[in-house]
Amino acid sequence: MAEKHVYYFGNGKADGNATMKETLGGKGANLAEMTNIGIPVPAGFTITTDVCVYYNDTNNQYPPGLKDQVEDALKKVEKAMGAKYGCTENPLLVSCRSGARESMPGMMDTVLNIGLNEDTVNALAKQANDERFAWDSYRRFIQMYGDVVMQLPLTSDGEDRFELILEEHREKAGVHYDHELTVDQLKAIVDDYKKVVKDTLGKEFPTDPMEQLWGAIGAVFGSWSNDRAVVYRRQYNIPHEWGTATNVQAMAFGNLGDDCATGVGLTRDCSMGDPGFCGDYLINAQGEDVVAGIRVPKRIETQLEDDMPEAYKQLDDIAKKLEKHYKDVQDIEFTVQRGKVWLLQTRNAKRTGFAAVRIAVDLVEEGLIDEKEAVGNKRRIPADDLNQLLQPIFDPAVKKAAQDEGRHMTTGINAGPGAATGQIVLSAEKAEAMFNEDNDVALMLVRKETSPEDLRGMRVSKGILTAQGGASSHAALVSRQMGKACVVGADELSINYADKTVSAGDKVLKEGDWITIDGFTGEVFEGKIDTSPSEVMRVLEGKMKPEESETYQRYAKLMSWADEHRKLKVRANCEPGDVAEEAVAFGCEGVGLCRTEHMFFDKVEAMRKMILAEDLETRKKAVDEILPHQREDFESLFRTMAGRPVTIRLLDPPLHEFLSDRHLEEEPGLDKKLAEMTGKSVEDIHRRVAELEELNPMLGHRGCRLGVVYPEITAMQARAIFEAACNVKADGIDVHPEVMIPLVGFLSEYRNQEKIVREQADAVFEEKNTNIEYMVGTMIEIPRAALCADEIAQGAEFFSFGTNDLTQTTLGMSRDDYGTFIPYYKENDIVPADPFQTVDQDGVGKLMKIGVEGGRSTRGDLKIGICGEHGGDPASVMFCHTIGLDYVSCSPRRIPIARLAAAQIALTSK
Ligand code: PEP
Ligand code: MG
């Protein structure tokens, strides 16, 4: 039997179901599922994703047998709908829509009203008893098909030719909206549309319905490879090999009169997660009108029940049934045709971090899911999205002051929560160019309407502001997914692309001027507004009571569920002080990396004296000056960590970071000062600095190589650690120091340093007449250490993967310079992700596995963690779980993310 390429759905029965997303794409699988559970869905069929792969691999060919299968399925659709495709009496019209395994909102193509020509349009007019509707549908079809399938080029001024014709006719007719055009005017537009196709492309607009259908199917499959779809997949790590399915479905019409509507709804709000069916709809309109933002849509939650009570009830029931069935918030597309509701799509809705947390917690409370599902399913709350709850917001008082100063411009729809201030930029292209020039630039992308074309610009902007479009417009949806602050539909804004101005009332701002949006409330202000910490942060910092913040309470509940299930411990990379306190507030279970050199930067004079010393005695004297400062710092860290383990790494960076030619150049007179300080001549200072200069400092005299050559530095640091530990212990506070030797490659290097550390420990304990349990271990951050881990574990009591250096040395890519080429690498799919953010599992990860196996083959209970930046990256955290690490360590703000990611992998891995 021929391979099955086409799956039919209709009349309560479907060939497929919701589990078949790989074959049918998300949309196709859910259309089948909805059909099977008795939700009204217009009949149709899905052509599989395999056909897309075949089509794109074979230069637009179809697999054998497809044509027959499509024709058979079309016959079934005709039967189910009681109409005939291409028939001049009772014509069936179809839509053709994309639908990949994971939703890619608005990134691929759709064609509606397929099957219309001069004959069928008249039949449709008779059948619907509405000539205007029929001609409007035909007009739309030519425009959509002309754009999407025939790819009618824009004019040399970048204008859409169809839109120009439409505008011309509206002007001639003296009307504002398309629905005010008469039948004769629409007929004239159709003629002009056909003419522009012929004149521009040199061929007629197709009239054969089967030719139209295959044209649309090919365009949908081809749209998998368009630029914005490719960019989107890269952003969300969707494999290019998947392909999209194509769904051909009988049209339901929302534009047959005032008892018709079309809309997109959410079974609960996806910006903040508030319960209740909501969304946008338009009466007497077709689907694309809502998402394209041509007319400002009405709100389901406030207006639909009054406008169409019957349809509202049907929809509300369907929304509840879908949530119960899918056990998650749904994003639906629907059409009301003469009072009857038809569902055209359902999918798990994209949501912000705020909404994700609230919806997960609410669904547990409503009994729809359990706690394990709430935290364990990374699709429900992508761990990274927790970040949004920690981002700054506007302080109400500061905002009120801006209001009092008369800076409030307008209020739109709050589509993506967050506070954003940035310089106005009016095109995505320009935003991208400005960002490439300066990564720190704060931009606000301001557009008339949201469009999927803006994806690249949205990615580099702090926030997005549009004058048109509703909360469900595609780009609003995407901005929420990106976690960007977003305000849409601020219709008092007038945006003039030619003059490069944005105005509201008498306020006129230019491109480059500052503007501010509050994505929680939809408010727009001219100028900058300062932000303040989020509610969760305020509670964590003790500035707000937990009971005053529902957001915090939900966050805390979720975190407690995550902690119950995760296996990995989560530590912090931090130094003493505020950051350490923050780390504790975020739930760290110890310090995985205290970089001691950060403290040296505060005592740079003593450090410089040490560097300039050319004999042991002088160096020792300089080092001794540093000791009390280090001790004080360590004491502070031990106290803050109150009994949690603290890993302190010995001095690591090349010495020239403290003193180099650059310092001498940037600080005039420094050479003289140093000469006075050390009793040397200015020439000697310059000579010594020149001696220290290295061509390749990252591979030079750094890490344990410093301690090996200057053992007195190691001795001083170890003494400071143990003295501090004893002092804190004397105050009744538990201490667990873990001394970590950096950049070890040879067991002998480790042994050399370990000896000094242990000698100092013994000496201090004897002096203080006490004893403290401590550990000595090493970083695994160069390939030799991973490869020889079995040997190194003969000495080291713990390992911590320094994946920053391990990535640098494994890939041979300088961690300080890779920014010049890695964007190109990502853009061209040479690497799947930035290897300095997400562990390169095939390379660096393989070395980590070798390191774990080697280390534990020598020392079965070897404690192993990670302290490179990757320790706070969800995918890397999950990898660390998989290879059996004991903990991850990351910067304090990433701790909640790491806790959640660790629970997600623990709950989903076997
Ligand atoms: C590392 O190399 O991963 C590490 C944590 O050390 P640093 O970043 O300080 O070199
Ligand atoms: Mg390192």
Tens digit of each residue's pLDDT (9 = 90 or more) over 366-378: 999 999 999 999 9
Instruction: Please state, in angstroms and rounded to a whole number, the distance separating the CA atoms of residues 394 and 421.
Output: 10
How many Cα neighbours within 13 Å face the side chain of 350? 20
How much is the pLDDT for 472?
A: 60
How remote is the CA of residue 891 from the centroid of ligand 2, in Å? 15
- First-residue to last-residue Cα distance in the chain: 37
**Least confident piece of the model among 172-181, 248-257, 727-736, 798-807:** 172-181
Look up residue 213 and give its amino acid: L
Residues 711-755 have pLDDT tens digits of: 999 999 999 999 999 999 999 999 999 999 999 999 999 999 999
Counting atoms of ligand 1 from 1, which one is nearest the CA of 742? 6
Output the CA torsion 149→150→155→160 (10° steps): -40
CA of 442 to the centre of ligand 1 (A): 29
CA distances from 316 to 378, 434, 543 (A): 28, 45, 41
Helix axes 66-81, 209-223, angle to 10 degrees: 110
The strand order across the sheet containing 485-488 reads 408-411, 523-526, 514-518, 419-425, 443-447, 463-466, 485-488, 413-416
- CA–CA gap between residue 682 and residue 469 (Å, rounded): 68
Alpha carbon distance 806, 575 (integer Å): 22
Handedness of CA 445, 450, 453, 459 (dihedral sign): positive
**Ramachandran class of 433: left when φ > 0, alpha when ψ lies in -120 to 50, beta otherwise:** alpha
3-state SS, 54-72, equals HHHHCCCCCCCCHHHHHHH
pLDDT, tens digit, 9 for 90 and up, residues 416-469: 778 999 999 999 889 999 999 998 899 999 998 766 567 778 889 999 998 876
Q: What is the DSSP letter of 4?
A: P
pLDDT of residue 1: 62
Question: What is the pLDDT at residue 124?
Answer: 93
Query: What is residue 474's predicted lDDT score, i.e. its pLDDT?
Result: 54
Q: What pTM was computed for the model?
A: 0.85
Q: Ligand 1: which of 598, 779, 808 to mutate, most ligand atoms within 8 Å of CB? A: 779
The mean-pLDDT minimum among 134-148, 185-199, 435-449, 637-651 falls in: 435-449
Other C-beta atoms closer than 10 Å to the C-beta of 401 total: 12
Strands 463-466 and 485-488: parallel
Residue 555 has pLDDT above 80, yes or no: yes
Token pair of 792 as six digits = 């190194």
Active-site position among 260, 867, 880, 890: 867
Ligand 2 centroid–CA 538 distance in Å is 33
Distance CA 392, CA 396 (A): 12
Catalytic status, residue 325: no
* Structure-token pair, residue 779: 């970083």
Burial class (CB in 10 A: 0-12, 13-18, 19+), 405: exposed
Please tell me the predicted confidence (pLDDT) of residue 477: 67
Residue 682's region, left for phi above 0, alpha for psi from -120 to 50, else beta, is: alpha
Which ligand is the nearest neighbour of the Cα of 806?
1
Using an 8 Å Cβ cutoff, are 505 and 526 in contact?
A: no
Query: How many other β-carbons are positioned within 10 Å of the β-carbon of residue 553?
Result: 15
Cβ atoms of 453 and 228 within 8 Å: the answer is yes
The pLDDT of residue 692 is 85
> Which strands, in side-by-side order, build the sheet including 501-504?
494-496, 501-504, 507-510
What pLDDT was estimated at residue 157?
Answer: 83
- What the block records as the tokens of 160 is 């859409």
What's the confidence (pLDDT) of residue 662?
A: 83
- DSSP run (H or E) holding 299: strand 298-299
**Active site (annotated) includes residue 474:** yes
pLDDT digits (tens, 9 = 90+) for 578-634: 889 989 999 999 999 999 877 776 678 888 998 898 888 999 999 999 999 999 999
Pick the residue whose CA is nearest to atom 9 on ligand 1.
595
Q: What is the mean pLDDT of residues 216-229?
A: 94
Q: Hey, is 643 helix, strand or coil?
A: coil
pLDDT confidence of residue 606? 85
Q: How far apart are CA 249 and CA 99, in angstroms?
A: 13
Which pLDDT does position 490 carry in this prediction?
87
Give the CA angle between residues 199, 203, 204 to the nearest 5°: 95
pLDDT at 511: 96
Specify the pLDDT at position 893. Answer: 85
Q: Which structure tokens are listed for 685?
A: 């200072």
Checking if the pLDDT of 186 tops 70, the result is: yes
Location of structure tokens 């013994």: 762
Instruction: Tell which one of 575, 804, 809 to mutate to probe ligand 1, the residue whose CB is within 8 A of the most ligand atoms.
Output: 804
Check residue 42 and give its pLDDT: 97
Q: Is 95 in the pocket of ligand 1 (CB under 6 A)?
A: no
pLDDT computed for residue 225 by the predictor: 93
The pLDDT value given to residue 473:
61
Give the span between the Cα atoms of 510 and 529, in whole angstroms: 18
Query: Where does the pLDDT of residue 296 fall: very low under 50, low under 70, confident under 90, or very high at 90 and above?
Result: confident
Active-site entry in 5, 474, 656, 881:
474
Confidence (pLDDT) at 471: 61
| Residue 2 reports pLDDT greater than 90 | no
- The tens digit of pLDDT for each residue in 60-97 reads 999 999 999 999 999 999 999 999 999 998 999 999 99
Any idea which ligand is nearest the CA of 848? 1
Helix axes 161-173, 131-148, angle to 10 degrees: 150
Which atom of ligand 1 is nearest the CA belonging to 595? 9
User: What protein residues have CB closer than 5 angstroms to ion ligand 2?
Assistant: 781, 802, 805
Q: What pLDDT is attached to residue 71?
A: 97
Binned at pLDDT 50, 70 and 90, residue 294 comes out as: low
Instruction: Supply the Cα-derived Rg of the chain in whole angstroms.
Output: 32
pLDDT tens for 458-491 read 889 999 998 876 666 655 666 766 768 889 888 8
Q: In this structure, which amino acid lies at residue 247?
A: N
Kindly tell me the burial class for residue 20, based on how many C-beta atoms sit within 10 Å of its own C-beta (0-12, 13-18, 19 or more): buried
DSSP character string of 414-432 = EEE-SEEEEEEE--HHHHH
Q: Is the CB of 866 under 6 A from ligand 1?
A: no
- pLDDT 10s digits, 667-707: 899 999 999 999 999 999 999 899 888 988 889 999 999 99
Percent of the chain with pLDDT over 70: 97
Q: Is the CB of 867 under 6 A from ligand 1?
A: yes
| Residue closest to 25 by CA, chosen among 3, 1, 44, 2 | 44
Mean local confidence (pLDDT), 562-584: 93
Residue whose C-alpha is closest to residue 467's, from 440, 449, 484: 449
Smallest CA separation from ligand 1 atom 6, residue: 802
> What is the mean pLDDT of the segment spanning 804-810?
95
Helices (H), 293-427: 305-307, 309-326, 353-365, 371-376, 396-404
- What domains are defined for the chain? 1-116+209-251 (3.30.1490.20), 118-207 (1.20.80.30), 391-532 (3.50.30.10), 566-654+694-908 (3.20.20.60), 660-693 (no CATH)
Note whether 519 and 392 are within 8 A (CB): no
Looking at residue 828, its pLDDT comes to 86
